[in-house]
Amino acid sequence: MIESDVFVQALQDIGVDFFTGVPDSILGGIIAELMERRLYTPAVREDEAVAMAAGAYMSGKVPAVLMQNSGLGTCLNTLISLNMIYCQPCVLIVSWRGYHGKDAPEHLVMGDVMPRFLDTMKIPHRTLSEKTAIDDLKWLAETFMKQRIPVALLITKGVVKGLHP
Amino acid sequence: MQSRAMAMAALLELLTDQPVIICNGFPSREAYKIADRPTHFYMIGSMGSASAIGLGVALAKPKKQVVIFDGDGNVLMGMGTLATVGALKPKNFIHVVFDNEVYGSTGNQPTISNVVPLEKVAKAAGYVNVERVREREDLVYEFKDMLKKDGPSMLLVKVNEMVEDVGRVMLDPPDITKRFMQAIA
């Protein structure tokens, strides 16, 4: 399991310096660490977080938005008609609820279709694993800056340490 | 009551190099026609997001005064952002809402801002200064005052439904991003 502080440090090391989002239990440890470092600006909806990140990007920051995968639906239009149309990159740290059909009912549909959904949206994505973490982060940094669009790093339960073991 | 374009022109005369985020629809097209400046970020989609984009700029550039030109339909759509702004209290955030009580860009369907006073919602959410104005001289007076004060501030301007004869914003969105970034760097 990756420690939250190691994960946050790795994001900072690739240049991310503006963090916002809406919480999920899988992301609990990461958000606690970001708050500890006074780097996190909480948003009330995922589309708001994405728009705030866009404003920060245009002001010289490298932004990341944290969200549960249900939030991808909420911020879809912002990702398309702001980030993609205006060529504004954003790192999306998305928790994969409903992974392999094991979760509460409200997560099962998005959990099942998410990779295809992101493919359809032409949002590059990769699923973080402890073994490939260094490559995953390197891929994230390169894709994000080269393509100038949102790029998603998907996090399944138990890969990064949460608030509760 | 004055038109939005007249009110907007009066405010743009008072601005110089402040970043201005302008919401989608006719407001962006009118601002582009009245005075196109590289410090303007014209939105063409993502309705409801102007204030959140402005908040991102305000947080990342605390020394610059950030102005948002918004509409009643836009504010209603992204109403949660009033709460985020009210909670974070960026001092450099001036939110101008041109309230014509209709979705003007899609054929004047009514919004609900005739019965929901948006500046009172903003005040309850934590905005420091809020004003509602109708006349041009009040508009100019209050906006000048807000430029001098610590925010977040909301200036709600009641305007009529008249729309200027304007074309689309003739800039490619990626160029709007680049130009705006260079202008506020």
| Domain boundaries of chain A, sorted by first residue | 4-96+107-155
The whole-number pLDDT of residue A144 equals 87
B174 vs A47: CB contact, 8 Å cut-off? no
Distance CA A78, CA B49 (A): 8
The whole-number pLDDT of residue A98 equals 95
Indicate which CATH number applies to the domain containing B126: 3.40.50.970
Residue A145 has pLDDT above 90, yes or no: no
- B173 CB near a chain A CB, below 8 Å? yes
Cβ-based burial of B122 (10 A; exposed 0-12, middle 13-18, buried ≥19): buried
Domain that holds residue B113: 4-184
Distance from the A88 Cα atom to the nearest Cα atom in chain B, whole angstroms: 8
Residue B64 one-letter amino acid: K
| Percent of chain B residues topping a pLDDT of 70 | 100
Nearest neighbour of B56 by CB, restricted to A44, A54, A77: A54
Compute CA A133 distance to the chain's CA centroid, rounded to the nearest angstrom. Answer: 15
Q: Which of B22, B47, B53, B95 to mutate to test the interface with A (most CBs of A within 10 A)?
A: B53
Residue pair B57/A59 in contact (Cβ under 8 Å)? The answer is yes
B53 vs A52: CB contact, 8 Å cut-off? yes
- B153 CB near a chain A CB, below 8 Å? no
Using a CB-CB cut-off of 8 Å, the residues of chain A touching B121 are none
pTM of the model: 0.97
Residue B124 one-letter amino acid: A
- B79 CB near a chain A CB, below 8 Å? no
pLDDT digits (tens, 9 = 90+) for A51-100: 999 999 999 999 999 999 999 999 999 999 999 999 999 999 999 999 99
Distance CA B20, CA A130 (A): 43
In this prediction, residue A163 has a pLDDT band, given cuts at 50, 70 and 90, of confident
A78 vs B55: CB contact, 8 Å cut-off? no
Here the tokens at position B25 are 């629809």
Q: Which residue has the tokens 């790192």?
A: A91
ipTM: 0.96
Nearest neighbour of B46 by CB, restricted to A49, A63, A82: A82
Residue A114, SS3 per DSSP: helix
Mean pLDDT estimate for chain A: 95
B45 vs A85: CB contact, 8 Å cut-off? yes
- What torsion do the CA atoms of B83, B88, B92, B94 make, to the nearest 10 degrees? 0
A53 vs B56: CB contact, 8 Å cut-off? yes
Q: Which residue of A has its CA nearest to B88?
A: A41
Number of domains in chain B: 1
Residue A165 has pLDDT above 70, yes or no: no
Arithmetic mean of pLDDT, B56-85: 98
- A17 CB near a chain B CB, below 8 Å? no
Distance CA B9, CA B96 (A): 13
Q: Which residue of B has its CA nearest to A82?
A: B46
B46 vs A77: CB contact, 8 Å cut-off? yes
Q: Which residue has the tokens 């997560």?
A: A107
- B59 CB near a chain A CB, below 8 Å? yes
In this prediction, residue B180 has a pLDDT band, given cuts at 50, 70 and 90, of very high
In this prediction, residue B123 has a pLDDT band, given cuts at 50, 70 and 90, of very high
Domain A4-96+107-155, what fold?
Rossmann fold (3.40.50)
A78 vs B46: CB contact, 8 Å cut-off? yes
- A:B CB pairs within 8 Å: 98
